[in-house]
Amino acid sequence: MTLLPEPVVLKQQRCIKALDFPLLRSLSLLHSSLGILVRQWVNAACSTQLIDGDGTFNVSGVDHFIKEVKLEECGLSYAVVSIMGPQSSGKSTLLNHLFGTNFREMDAFRGRSQTTKGIWIARCAGIEPCTVVMDLEGTDGRERGEDDTAFEKQSALFALAVSDIVLINMWCHDIGREQAANKPLLKTVFQVMMRLFSPRKTTLMFVIRDKTRIWDAVPKPQAHKETPLSDFFNVEVIALNSYEEKEELFKEQVANLRQRFFHSVAPGGLAGDRRGVVPANAFAFSAKQMWQVIKDNKDLDLPAHKVMVATVRCEEIANEKFAGFIANENWRELEEAVHSGPVSGFGKKLSSILQSCLSEYDTEATYFEEGVRSSKRQQLQEKLLQLVQPTFQDLLGHLRSGALENFKDAFEKALNAGEAFSASADVCAQSCVSKFDKGCEEAVIEQANWDTSKTREKLQRDIEAHISSVRTAKLSELTTLYESKLIAALSGPVEALLDGANDETWPAIRKLLRREGELAVYGLSDALSGFNMDEETRNKMLTDLENYARGIVETKAKEEAGRALMRMKDRFTTIFSHDSDSMPRIWTGKEDIRAITKMARSASLKLLSVMAVIRLEDELDNIEKTLTLALVNSTSNSATSKSISTIDSLASSTWEQVAPEKTLITPVQCKSLWRQFKNETEYTVTQAISAQEANRRNNNWLPPPWAILALVVLGFNEFMTLLRNPLWLGVLFVGYLVSKALWVQLNISGEFQHGALPGLLSLSTKFLPTVMNLLKKLAEEGQAPSTNTNQSSMNSSASAQSDVTTNGESSSSSSSGSSPAKSVPIDTSS
């Protein structure tokens, strides 16, 4: 053992008492004591706690210590000395006497107790090169007891790993003892050191026997099975006299031992093995890293016997309780019920079952070590919560789906009742979320701090998604509703207006579009007020509806433009074949077909000009004028030379002053339509002319005046004969009646309309049946009573007269309608 000098006054007193020693020895001791005293005073402030009792490395304190002692300037020329041994074995006293440090020493008057706690560091005074000494907390102390031996092992391993020289301080009467000699401690430290750190020869100075038996009993890694102790340590045994009994001899031995620490890093010195040394400026970092490695190693953290027993038994109890919980009927019934749907009072029921299980564990594990008992209880509780958490999540799922369905039903009923969309959505959503929150409160387990916010957020997202889908559907329904109203309000009227195309057609369409569009926009705007929409979206929907109304008109105009030729022919036929009173025309020969044809074609051209472009803006154009000049007036002989440029104006695909997108029928198409229109209406005009000529012929059935005069002159005698003999007059009258009846019955005028030969053939086949039919009727009339004979004769005469008149008109009409066409010069192009 080595002790450090005491303060100056005590040393002087002790030197006076030691006069029996040789003078040289006294002077040497005095000189050494004075030098140590000065250095001790200089470095007294450099004693720093390196690691506290809880194992925390003092980074800032070490950095300050290194700066104070200027360790960074030493490079590799420094040594580290540490001391370990049982508590209250005089370690700090030895260091203070040996190296001039100021570590705290035990007060013998207060009894043996823990003096050094953790690991302290200081610089040795008066020794070159720079020597740093570490004072370790004593082992086998009652303050930590048998349950906290990990720090002893960690600090011992740290000292062996960091130090160049390790002093193992022992009392002589502890030699040979198992625990007091630190044999288990050294065995554990040696074993871990070989695994964690590479071989580095450290000098061990201790008073102990059986040093090699400890090394041989250490389990070694395969790489160090045959490695001797000397590869890791230089072992020296130093024996010191008792400080209390032989103080002066003790000091002399300490002074001699002190001399061995001078130049300890030189070859052959106590710290001569410099293979693993780090530069002085990296000492703090290296020490911190080594301590962290040691702290993380679990081989040094061996539990005490009662801790191991508590660990095993508490784990067995926890497993039993866990198995009992799984088999618990109440739990199984509750689990099955949750699979089917929400369970009222789930949280209270499950909390009660869990608490019962944990209480049983607490009862059986009461007398075991508290730390282990609490740890295993916590593990049991975590396992139980992991077991029941899926059921808890299923319950939350039922609550969420139920709340969502309730929201859908309530929301639909509110909308059907006519409530505003946004207000209904907010009220229903808030109500359903509140019910969900209440259900979650009833489902909460006391032993768990589970968060239901994610499920709640998912419910809110589902509700918002449903609201969004319903909003989209409702807005689509509203849009479709008002679009259908616009279609009904615009399609038919626009078609009718275009069918009766005139100068007021497009102004009327514009007025209709404006009126119906404003009504639809107003209605949709009022319907959208309950949706709480942003102004931009609302305006866009209203604008889209206005554009839709305009699109209806444009689409209908395009459809009617595609039927322009048919409309033109219909209008021509209507005007040409009907008079101003809309009565069908009878071509008697008095009508001016040329004027009627021109009027009908002008009306058709008017329709074409109206359908040529879309005029939803009040803008003027010259389309009608251009078409009139190009198509109607172009055939005038006087304007033939002047109309060439006008006709060429239709050789274009666009109209002047009209945007292409508004064009329905291009000028070229108008020209083509007009040509086709004229060709298809030419036959109607020709038929009218033919009918007029035929009617004129039928009306001229009397012979010429000269023939009538000749008949009067030449037939005067026969006429006088009839006047002298009235009987012949009656015979002629009867003959006339019969002839007239045959004329009517045979429809002679109708038969000859198809030609003379066909008429004669037809009359030859019908003549005999007709005569027989007349004779039969006369025979039947003759058999009637005489009172009815005269009346029948009068009726027959009246009937015959009526038939003659009627058939005469029919024949005339039929003749005029079916007479063959006759070439009559007329200008049909106008």
- Binding-site entries for GTP: 85-92
Residue 270 and residue 321: Cα distance in Å, rounded? 61
Place of tokens 């539990």: 303
Residue 343 and residue 333: Cα distance in Å, rounded? 11
The pair of three-digit structure tokens given for residue 433, joined into one six-digit string? 């979320």
Calculate the alpha carbon distances from 762 to 354, 749, 772 in Å. Answer: 119, 12, 17
Residue 545 and residue 541: Cα distance in Å, rounded? 6
Neighbours of 16 (CB within 10 A): 9
Give the three-state DSSP class for 107.
coil
Q: Taking Cα atoms as reference points, which of 263, 217, 260 lies closest to residue 238?
A: 260
Residue 711 and residue 691: Cα distance in Å, rounded? 33
Neighbours of 26 (CB within 10 A): 16
Residue 365 and residue 325: Cα distance in Å, rounded? 17
Residue 122 and residue 830: Cα distance in Å, rounded? 132
Q: Taking Cα atoms as reference points, which of 229, 223, 154 lies closest to residue 192?
A: 154
Q: Look at the alpha carbons of 812, 815, 821, 823 in this order and tell me if their dihedral is positive or negative.
A: negative
Give the three-state DSSP class for 118.
coil
Annotated binding site, which residues?
85-92
Neighbours of 362 (CB within 10 A): 14
> What percentage of the chain's residues is helix, strand, coil (to nearest 5)?
65, 5, 30
Looking at the DSSP bridge assignments, the partners of residue 119 are: 51, 136
- SS3 of 530-542: HHCCCHHHHHHHH
Q: Taking Cα atoms as reference points, which of 405, 395, 400, 399 lies closest to residue 339?
A: 395
How would you classify the pairing of strands 130-136 and 165-168?
Answer: unpaired
Alpha carbon 770 to chain centroid distance? 95
Calculate the alpha carbon distances from 733 to 730, 738, 744, 776, 792 in Å. Answer: 5, 9, 16, 20, 17
Which residues in 214-318 belong to E strands, given as ranges? Answer: 233-236
Calculate the alpha carbon distances from 557 to 496, 696, 827 in Å. Answer: 11, 45, 34
Give the chain's radius of gyration (CA, Å).
Answer: 67
Q: Tell me, what DSSP letter sits at residue 238?
A: -
The pair of three-digit structure tokens given for residue 751, joined into one six-digit string? 């038969």
Residue 172 and residue 240: Cα distance in Å, rounded? 10
Calculate the alpha carbon distances from 350 to 374, 384, 443 in Å. Answer: 22, 11, 9
With 0-12 CB in 10 A as exposed, 13-18 as middle and 19+ as buried, what is 788? exposed
How would you classify the pairing of strands 119-123 and 130-136?
Answer: antiparallel
Strand order of the sheet with strand 48-51?
A: 48-51, 119-123, 130-136, 78-84, 165-168, 202-206, 233-236
With 0-12 CB in 10 A as exposed, 13-18 as middle and 19+ as buried, what is 35? middle
Beta carbons of 597 and 830 less than 8 angstroms apart: yes
Residue 94 and residue 124: Cα distance in Å, rounded? 12
